[in-house]
Amino acid sequence: MTYQPHGNHFVAGQLVNGDETFESEPASGAPSKYSVGRVSDVNQAVEAAEDAFNSYGYSSRQTRADFLNSIADEIEARADDITEIGVQETGLPEARLNGERGRTTGQLRLFAKHIMSDDYLDKRHQEALPDRAPAPGPEHKLIQRPIGPVAVFGASNFPLAFSTAGGDTASALAAGCPVIVKGHSAHPGTSEIVAAAISAAVEKQGIAPGVFSLIQGGSRKVGTSLVQHPLIKAVGFTGSLGGGRALFDLCAARDEPIPFFGELGSVNPMFLLPAAIANRASEMGTGWAGSLTMGAGQFCTNPGIAVGMKGTLEAFTSAAQEAMDAQGAQTMLTAGIASAYQKGVDEFGQCSGVKTLVSGGANDRDASPMLCRTDASVWLNQPQLSEEVFGPLGLIVEVENEEQMHAVAKKLNGQLTCTLHMDNEDTELARSLMPILERKAGRILVNGFPTGVEVSDAMVHGGPYPASTNFGATSVGTLSIRRFLRPVCYQNVPDELVLDW
């Protein structure tokens, strides 16, 4: 391996050793040792972030844009090392890591461009009304201001785009908020290289060093102390429902509760409407299998459930089954994720009324897909069938009629996405489903598959709980910057005292 990890934390521009170490668990190659995070590391990083906020939070948009672009440049300068260690740690293919690195730098550059237009500041102005009776009206200016230091938790399934310099970090830095990242132990070396890129950009741009810190994992105390630190003003998280809910509860229980922007879990159901499936069932079945097994099913937008009318699903099912039978085993991100996938496979196999069409499971870190089928009456009465299994597991749910399709839609928990596969003849049924699905998901698709979340001004990656903990927010796209801003009203304050006015 070209890059040799040093295993230290990055705390406000300094490399910091820990008292204890943990070993990485790479998919290939030898493990490396990394410092276990300590509460003292958290305290040092957060206090430095608060100091940095006094300058960075009031810096110009140009300064922040230059910084974001510099981070992107530094990441690209380390491209080969990032890909090499990322492949070794995660087992993801080289092309996937290269694409994700491009997505990461693209997000940084997008936010740099975004903040140079002041639209995100949502400026509002109420002019003074000196002649108003019975009392004059004051002048009001409203503008969005950064909230302060932000904690970000790296995601297991996206070592770049949702981790150290991913969307949460990029949007927080764009807003003017220093960031403390809690690295994910699934890819500590990848996190370390990206942290080095950010630190190099900090130095080159003359930014206060406390604007960024990376503290590796290895201990739950790191995450707990980070979200409970009184100087942390918000948390960005992508991960499991159990872990996210525990952190969410800690944020809510603080003396000063803070927002927890968690993206937690989703089964991303697809509704296969009659005309569409009559016209292109095989194409849809093959496409679903491809989306379902992409990346060993380790996407938060993995479409785990397909709902269609009884008597219309045979060709769709056959095509999906054939494609999944042909899919070989794929390496999962960690042994723990593989074990959880096997547990989900076992639980599905034990559900009454569920037929297994393709037997799957996990062997060490290698996962093979599983395909099951059931009817709506079974699905509606076994809540575990609507819960996410993180991996390539698909369930076909057969409904008797449109009324039962509506019942399935209404029974869904909050989702990141819902998809309608439809042709023109399905418009009336689709129209009747829309009011239900709009209340269930942050993104609704027609005739597509939800894996692959485009980074754009109009993207929403979030949804009602348990898809996320804040249904009014997104973790992808330029709107995500609003999570780390708050509105401030200035009454009769001269323009010279209002930054960016």
Among the listed residues 263, 372, 388, 398, the single catalytic one is: 263
Quote the distance between the C-alpha of residue 115 and its chain's center: 21
Beta-bridge mates of residue 397:
307, 374
Quick one: 230 exposed, middle or buried, by C-beta within 10 A (0-12, 13-18, 19+)? exposed
Q: For 366, how many CA atoms within 13 A lie in the half-sphere containing its CB?
A: 5
CB atoms within 10 A of CB 368: 22
Among the listed residues 177, 251, 300, 418, the single catalytic one is: 300
Quick one: 322 exposed, middle or buried, by C-beta within 10 A (0-12, 13-18, 19+)? middle
Structure tokens at 290: 């491809």
> Helix-strand-coil percent breakdown of the chain, rounded to 5?
45, 20, 35
Is 100 noted as a catalytic residue in this protein? no
Note if the bond before 466 is cis, omega within 30 degrees.
yes
Structure tokens at 149: 């230091």
Structure tokens at 466: 């348990």
Give the E-state strand segments of 295-403 in sequence order: 305-309, 330-331, 355-358, 361-363, 366-368, 370-375, 393-399
Query: Would the CA dihedral through 163, 164, 167, 172 be positive or negative?
Result: positive
Is 263 noted as a catalytic residue in this protein? yes
Note if the bond before 435 is cis, omega within 30 degrees.
no
Q: Which residues are catalytic?
A: 263, 300
